[in-house]
């Protein structure tokens, strides 16, 4: 719990006497505890520069906690707002009211977010990247460690400079976050959730039109990538920003790329733009839940396989296009020498402020023990310098691998390589999940996608977070052999009971290898299912060629989708009916999808087939 003080002067000389190499931010909570991210509390902030000179005298602010999983860490992150716009320590391109103090508790190097935002600055097709710098923080006179002071992500002429006219629909600018940790006001596009982070109208009917407008724009933009329509994609999407954003996130090997903190924006009269970058404390090899993310080699499989909750559909669909991969290769050749300076940037920052970083390390980091979900190689470090060396070396190796791969024939031809330089089966959902072994001794074979284990009674294996879509057909298959004393049972489970469907089976084990296969159709659309394998009996079991694929014919999945949003529903039927009746406002974004008769004509016979398909 945060220490409370009833009387505190932010200008206590003891704070300055303790200063090492960094600026200092001192927070006085006025005798109250900051315990929630849902409400701001009045506090006071004082800021000194790195030389101990007073930068901002004691100033009133509103402050709250920030984060999701990090809310439960001992070292808290904060968001605070000035009453009037300020530019503390001159780190921003101009003043703003909202600022963040990121604890970076899960990143013992404290440098991953800073490195990512610096990378964003180097890629000039990303229109905005958060300005930041490391500071030391005191709360109520108590030292809390090193934090990253950075700009809050919001619409501001000095930050994300898009139009703010919340009384308009198409004339308004929109800042969006794709995230699973969204509010109740979110909307969905292709099974991903989006929050609008910019201002909307106070008039409820206008607000509804704004949400409908931007959600339709996202759906159309995503679908033209899926349909590999370059001309239409260039009309709707700022392709250079998508290319730079992909390069940046691929270099970071960001595992959360489809789970949260993925920002997009659209200015009035402009195209969909991919910016800014945000939240990289678990990137750059600092992650051990999914296979391959600790390695500096291999493509980020969440960028190429759209079957997992962490998958990013924008990248998955974009990378299916030859022209997009060609644009990535060309852009990499332009920026590679620039981004190769990133490891030196990390080394220099660590060297300049080493004493402050070590002081934080001595306070918060467990020596040689696991902190969260970092790799074993990171968890074993006992000195701060080891963390910075590891990070800079990881980035160096990552850039070297990308330099070879993005210029290769494999990438040109759409062959995606994993951390072992083996081609990835993009359709197989299991390729992006690390098998979680529970009370079992054995090994997981990443090449054949299987395992060779010694089972015990009630042993289990778990694979995580698969997408399912209503009306889609799937095939589960594997080869199995082992001791007949064992038996395998599998189940598919969801996080929420309302999305449960009965898919389970029991398979006897024989000494001879047998092939198991089952097809089924999902009645629900939901983003987080788990595949659980349980065993009864004891003995050795070998499972190979685990495969879980969507076998829905792609051309059938979008029949009737005349508004080009990636799905067929009543809005498509109504639009096509209006178009046939000659309505001047009815425009078919994807007229080919209405030709259900396959005769290159659009008429009432197509409408009849659309109606039949709509009612089942």
Residue-wise pLDDT for 508-559, tens only, equals 999 999 999 999 888 878 888 888 888 888 888 999 999 999 998 865 557 7
Contact 608, 602 (CB under 8 A): no
Q: Is the predicted pLDDT of residue 5 greater than 70, yes or no?
A: no
pLDDT at 366: 86
pTM: 0.90
Contact 141, 310 (CB under 8 A): no
Please check whether the domain covering 429-552 is classified as CATH 2.60.120.260.
yes
Tell me how far CA of residue 454 lies from CA of 94, 179, 479, 507, 532, in angstroms. 61, 39, 17, 17, 17
pLDDT at 10: 46
Q: Is the predicted pLDDT of residue 41 greater than 60, yes or no?
A: yes
Specify the residue for token string 């639009």: 575
Q: Is the predicted pLDDT of residue 216 greater than 60, yes or no?
A: yes
Give the mean pLDDT of the chain.
90
**What are the E-state strand segments in 377-513?**
436-438, 441-445, 450-455, 460-468, 473-482, 487-494, 504-508
Q: Which of 35-44, 153-162, 210-219, 284-293 has the lowest mean pLDDT?
A: 284-293
pLDDT above 90 covers what percent of the chain?
66
Q: Is the predicted pLDDT of residue 3 greater than 50, yes or no?
A: no
Q: What is the pLDDT of residues 334-366, one digit of tens each?
A: 999 999 999 999 999 999 999 999 999 999 988
Q: What span, in angstroms and rounded, lies between the C-alpha atoms of 137 and 32?
A: 17
> What does DSSP assign to residue 416?
P
Segment 69-77 shows an average pLDDT of 91
User: In 10 A of CB 198, how many CB atoms?
Assistant: 20
**What are the E-state strand segments in 285-440?**
436-438
pLDDT at 7: 39
CA dihedral angle for residue 218, residue 221, residue 225, residue 231, rounded to 10 degrees: -170
pLDDT above 70 covers what percent of the chain?
93
Report the run of H or E that residue 188 belongs to, with start and end. Answer: strand 187-189
Q: What is the pLDDT of residues 549-561, one digit of tens each?
A: 999 886 555 778 8
pLDDT at 63: 97
- Select from 3.20.20.120, 1.10.760.10, 1.10.1330.10, 3.30.1360.30 the CATH code of 555-614: 1.10.1330.10
Where in the chain is CATH 2.60.120.260?
A: 429-552
Where in the chain is CATH 1.10.1330.10?
A: 555-614
Phi (first) and psi of residue 296, to 5 degrees: -75, 0
Q: What span, in angstroms and rounded, lies between the C-alpha atoms of 82 and 61?
A: 5
Tokens linked to 377 = 């190689």
Strands 142-151 and 132-139: antiparallel
Q: What is the pLDDT of residues 218-257, one digit of tens each?
A: 999 999 999 899 999 999 999 999 999 999 999 999 999 9
Q: What is the pLDDT of residues 82-105, one digit of tens each?
A: 999 999 999 999 999 999 999 999
Q: What is the pLDDT of residues 481-503, one digit of tens each?
A: 999 999 999 988 887 776 666 67
Q: Is the predicted pLDDT of residue 1 greater than 50, yes or no?
A: no
Give the pLDDT band (50/70/90) at residue 68: confident
Q: Is the predicted pLDDT of residue 438 greater than 90, yes or no?
A: no
pLDDT at 362: 95
Question: How many Cα atoms occupy the beta-carbon half-sphere of 522 within 13 Å?
Answer: 24
Q: What is the pLDDT of residues 119-130, one digit of tens each?
A: 999 999 999 999
């Amino acid at each position: 719990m945060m220490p409370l003080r009833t009387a505190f002067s932010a200008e206590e000389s003891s704070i300055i006497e303790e200063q090492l190499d960094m600026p200092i931010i001192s927070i006085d909570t006025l005798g109250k505890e900051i315990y929630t991210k849902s409400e701001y509390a009045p506090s006071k902030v004082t800021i000194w520069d790195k030389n101990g000179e007073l930068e901002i005298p004691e100033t009133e602010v509103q402050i709250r906690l920030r984060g999701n999983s990090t809310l439960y860490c001992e070292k808290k992150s904060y968001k605070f707002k000035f009453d009037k716009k300020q530019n503390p320590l001159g780190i921003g391109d101009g003043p703003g009211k909202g600022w963040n103090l990121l604890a970076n508790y899960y990143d013992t190097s404290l440098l991953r977010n800073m490195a990512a935002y610096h990378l964003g600055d180097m890629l000039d097709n990303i229109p905005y990247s958060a300005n930041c710098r490391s500071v030391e923080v005191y709360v109520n006179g108590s030292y809390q460690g090193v934090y990253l002071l950075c700009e809050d992500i919001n619409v501001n002429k000095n930050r994300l400079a898009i139009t703010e006219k919340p009384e308009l629909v198409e004339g308004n600018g929109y800042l969006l976050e794709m995230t699973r940790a969204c509010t109740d006001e979110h909307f969905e596009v292709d099974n991903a959730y989006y929050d609008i982070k910019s201002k909307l109208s106070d008039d409820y009917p206008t607000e509804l039109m704004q949400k409908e407008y931007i959600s339709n724009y996202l759906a159309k933009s995503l679908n033209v990538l899926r349909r590999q329509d370059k001309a239409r994609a260039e009309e709707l999407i700022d392709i250079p920003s998508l290319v730079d954003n992909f390069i940046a996130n691929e270099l970071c090997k960001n595992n959360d790329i489809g789970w949260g903190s993925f920002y997009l924006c659209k200015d009035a009269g402009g195209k969909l733009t991919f910016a800014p970058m945000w939240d990289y404390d678990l990137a750059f090899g600092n992650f051990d839940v999914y296979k391959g993310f600790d390695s500096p080699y291999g493509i980020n499989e969440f960028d190429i396989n759209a079957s997992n909750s962490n998958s990013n559909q924008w990248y998955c669909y974009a990378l299916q296009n030859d022209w997009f991969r060609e644009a990535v290769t060309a852009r990499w050749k332009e920026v590679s020498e620039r981004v190769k300076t990133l490891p030196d940037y990390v080394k220099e920052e660590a060297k300049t402020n080493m004493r402050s970083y070590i002081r934080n390390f001595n306070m918060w980091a467990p020596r040689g023990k696991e902190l969260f979900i970092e790799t074993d190689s990171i968890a074993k470090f006992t000195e701060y310098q080891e963390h910075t060396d590891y990070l800079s070396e990881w980035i160096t190796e990552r850039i070297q691998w990308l330099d070879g791969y993005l210029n290769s024939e494999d990438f040109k031809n759409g062959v995606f390589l994993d951390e072992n330089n083996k081609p990835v089966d993009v359709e197989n959902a299991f390729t992006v999940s690390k098998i979680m072994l529970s009370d079992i001794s054995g090994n997981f074979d990443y090449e054949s996608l299987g395992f060779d284990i010694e089972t015990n009674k009630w042993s289990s294996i778990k694979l995580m977070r698969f997408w399912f879509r209503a009306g889609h057909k799937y095939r589960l298959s594997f080869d199995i052999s082992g001791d007949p004393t064992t038996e395998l049972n599998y189940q598919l489970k969801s996080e929420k009971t309302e999305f449960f469907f009965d898919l389970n089976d029991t398979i006897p084990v024989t000494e001879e290898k047998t092939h198991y296969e089952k097809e089924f159709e999902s009645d629900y659309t939901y983003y987080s299912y788990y595949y659980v394998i349980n065993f009864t009996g004891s003995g050795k079991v070998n499972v190979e060629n685990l495969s879980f694929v969507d076998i829905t014919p792609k051309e059938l999945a979008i029949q009737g989708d005349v508004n080009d949003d990636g799905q067929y529903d009543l809005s498509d039927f109504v639009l096509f009916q209006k178009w046939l009746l000659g309505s001047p406002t009815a425009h078919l974004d994807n007229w080919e999808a209405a030709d259900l008769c396959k005769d290159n004509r659009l008429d009432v016979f197509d409408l009849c087939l659309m109606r039949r398909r709509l009612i089942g």
